[in-house]
A and B are shown apart, each in its own frame.
Chain A
Amino acid sequence: MAQIEIENVRKVYPGGVEVIPDLSFDIAAGELCVLVGPSGCGKSTLLRMVAGLEPITGGEIRIAGRRVNELEPVERDISMVFQNYALYPHMSVYDNMAYGLRNRGEPKTTIDAAVRKAAKTLGLEDYLSRKPRQLSGGQRQRVAMGRAIVREPAAFLFDEPLSNLDAKLRVKTRVEIRDLQQRLGTTSIYVTHDQLEAMTLADQLVIMNAGRIEQAGPPLEIYERPASVFVGGFIGSPPMNFLPCFAGAGGVETATGQRLSGDSPAMGDVTAGVRPEDLTPDAAGPLPLHVRVVERLGATVHVHGVLEETETDLVASLPGSDAPNPGEVLRLAPNPGKLHYFSAETGRRLG
């Protein structure tokens, strides 16, 4: 178990493109930290800097209190699971897992014991003599995991390890990864662009945008108090609705003059955010939704539409029973206390 500290880390690519201007956060020992963000936000670059595959332009990365900036990946005591698994195609499953240990010059018996233990943990015992191409996608993924755990490193680094799996397998493997990480208690960094993976796996969730941390914290806290419009729109599915509003002395009104709330977080233009699941049908509600598309998921119904007299798109997630039809107008009210206010200029949270 090891703590990972990232301090004022900066990354500039040759040619002057600054991907990460200045980034700091800590990952506690045994914690699974998920880095999530849109593509190009620098999350993979950060992971690769921790792994030692990418030089660090400035700042310091410490694993278990040891500065690793100048160390080769192998000296950092980490192991990595790649998106396309990067298994050695000409080696058997056994050799794939044993390769790193052999390079460290471990005795044969130690290697054998470690590989068999890892194979048992992952249910790969029957496949040890196979080549990667004879395995299914899910099995390959597990071999990649096996290669990571066999060395018992201080930290696991996952680079979108599930994105090559089909949806069903992804859910299953996600649970397996979480289970394995909890059992081994190894500090992990997990990079993904999938907010569902991020929410379900993380002890600590770090949401990145354009090389900066938008918000970091436990997933539920982020869900309940998004720090910015970006975070609100990124976490949660369907994403949070945003309404341009005006806050005055008498409360907050929508663009069409409907009163959303009696309290004002600030004065002037604000953006109000409300999650689809925090909207309830209410004949006197302030949000008249012109229904366009209704998605019936069984347990819930997603109602997509446009607010009347405006261009604002809105999604409401309602219990399965009360589904309107396309073309109808459905009046909705936000649940009390579930409105989020953001500055119209900066997008940061107000109050």
Chain B
Amino acid sequence: MIENRPVLNIVQHVILILGVTVFVFPIWLAFVASTHTARDVNSGIPLLPGDQMWENYAQVLGEGLSTIGAPPIGLMLFNSLIMALAITIGKIVISLLSSFAIVYFRFPFRVLAFWTIFVTLMLPVEVRILPTYEVVAQLGMLNSYAGLSIPLIASATATFLFRQFFMTVPDELTEAARVDGAGPMKFFRDILVPLSRTNLAALFVILFIYGWNQYLWPLLVTTDESYYTVVMGIQRMANAGEEQPLWNLIMATAILAMLPPVAVIIGMQRLFVRGLVETEK
């Protein structure tokens, strides 16, 4: 749609700018709060950055908030990263393989298998959290990276997405690969996975953010500080008991916790935008 009406242009821009402001304002406030002293922040958040940025971030990254029961943020960021990557990679590998099986192999109860996976879409983690906790506890996986990530790996959404994608891959491609002597796993590795590149990149971003932002599950399965993730760490800091929460430091942590997902989006963006633009068939 190409129109050249100045009034419409202005209206469009006003709406867009308003929208951006609404979304950016909380982040701006968080950033501003992270650059002041605790006293300034508690007496109402100022709107302009202060001069405590260096000190606040140095404290958060360095000594941590041992006074209020949170480990150094470096460790929490590292834990979050391990958990998010394990969930992302695990989900992608499992769902790639399971949708490959469902689409390309004729085995008994294939349709049943697919629908079973599909039905679990209806049950988010929160609904099945108690039985899942019980299982993880029985297996002795509390307070471990395995306990943090494995229960969140099975993914109906990604399986469904890859199934839909595989079904659009022309049959002739499969047959050409058979004539070329590629066995099933070779076909999967050499042809299906490279063709799924765009989907892989998009899913990686979505799943990484999903994994990074997990809150309830880490809260349940970790009691050992050395396995705390940053998102739950922020919550621990905010509920610091009798003491007044140190909002400037909490906000600094929040800003730091936001950076890895942003980095993933920026890193992956080129790959999946390019993939979306180039239609290859």
Q: Taking beta carbons and an 8 Å cutoff, which residues of A are in contact with B?
A: 51-53, 72-74, 78-80, 82-90, 99-100, 103-104, 131, 133, 147
Contacts and interface: CB of A to CB of B under 8 A. Distances in A.
A79 B179 contact: yes
A89 B195 contact: yes
Q: Which of A73, A86, A131 has the most CB of B within 10 A?
A: A86
A52 B280 CA distance: 28
B175 A74 contact: no
B181 A86 contact: no
B170 A99 contact: no
A103 B175 contact: no
B172 A83 contact: yes
A147 B281 CA distance: 18
Interface in B255-281: 278, 280-281
B179 A78 contact: yes
B195 A73 contact: no
Main secondary structure of the interface of A (DSSP, over half): loop
Interface string B152-181: 000000000000000000101101111111
B274 to A, nearest CB: 13
B195 A99 contact: no
Contacts of A78: 179
Contacts of A86: 170, 172-173, 175-176
B182 interface: yes
B180 A84 contact: no
A340 to B, nearest CB: 40
Interface string B173-196: 101111111100010001100110
A332 to B, nearest CB: 47
Contacts of B191: 88, 90
A103 B186 contact: yes
Interface residues of B, number: 20
B182 A99 contact: yes
Contacts of B180: 74, 99-100, 103, 147
A70 to B, nearest CB: 15
Contacts of B179: 51-53, 73-74, 78-80, 100
B175 A104 contact: no
Contacts of A73: 175, 178-179, 181
Contacts of B182: 99, 103
B280 A84 contact: no
17 contacts: A51-B175, A52-B178, A72-B178, A73-B178, A74-B180, A74-B181, A78-B179, A80-B179, A82-B172, A83-B172, A85-B172, A86-B170, A86-B173, A88-B176, A88-B190, A100-B181, A103-B182
A80 B177 CA distance: 11
Given A73-B178, A73-B179, A87-B176, 20 more contacts: A52-B179, A53-B175, A53-B179, A72-B178, A73-B175, A74-B180, A78-B179, A84-B170, A85-B172, A86-B173, A86-B176, A88-B176, A88-B177, A99-B180, A103-B181, A104-B181, A133-B278, A133-B280, A133-B281, A147-B176
A57 B241 CA distance: 77
Contacts of B170: 84, 86
A99 B180 CA distance: 7
Q: Which of A51, A53, A131 has the most CB of B within 10 A?
A: A53
Contacts of B194: 90
Contact of A82 (B175, B181, B280): B175
Contacts of A80: 175-176, 179
Given A103-B186, A133-B278, A82 B176 contact: yes
Contacts of A84: 170, 172
Q: Which of A74, A104, A133 has the most CB of B within 10 A?
A: A74
Nearest to A82: B172
Contacts of B177: 88
Contacts of A53: 175, 178-179
Nearest to A85: B172
A84 B169 CA distance: 12
A74 B186 CA distance: 14
